[in-house]
Amino acid sequence: MGIDYGPVNSENSNTVISILQLRGNGEYHVVYMKKFLGKEADYAFIHKEVPRLMQKWGCVQLAADYGMGEGSNAEIRSRIGYDKVIAYQHMPAQKETVR
């Protein structure tokens, strides 16, 4: 599962999740996507929903936005385990050696 956080509790929320599944042919398929809107865009709702969906879909890891989402990542880690959350931050000007 992957999550990218947006502003909290907003009709214009950009918090989205996607769930990928590796198929036998080695290809990944998107099996579920959700954009959190309105009341569902509240982090308290998201913190409950992510672990529930991970369990439902059998997800083993959560790739999570590091920048805006680090506080939320800490809360989700406390619910699903530290080692299951992989925090990342997109840096368009990232140096090639780091990449």
Containing domain of residue 69, as a range?
43-49+62-82
The total number of structural domains in the chain stands at: 1
What is the rounded distance in angstroms from the CA atom of residue 9 to the CA atom of residue 19?
Answer: 22
> Once rounded to an integer, what is the mean pLDDT over residues 1-5?
91
Residue 74 lies in a domain: yes
In a domain, 8, yes or no: no
pLDDT tens digits, 14-36: 789 999 999 999 999 999 999 98
- Mean pLDDT over residues 88-94, rounded? 70
- How high is the pLDDT of residue 62? 95
Q: Is the pLDDT of residue 10 over 70?
A: no
- For residue 75, tell me if it sits in a domain: yes
77 — pLDDT class (breaks 50, 70, 90): very high
Q: Say what the pLDDT of residue 6 is.
A: 79
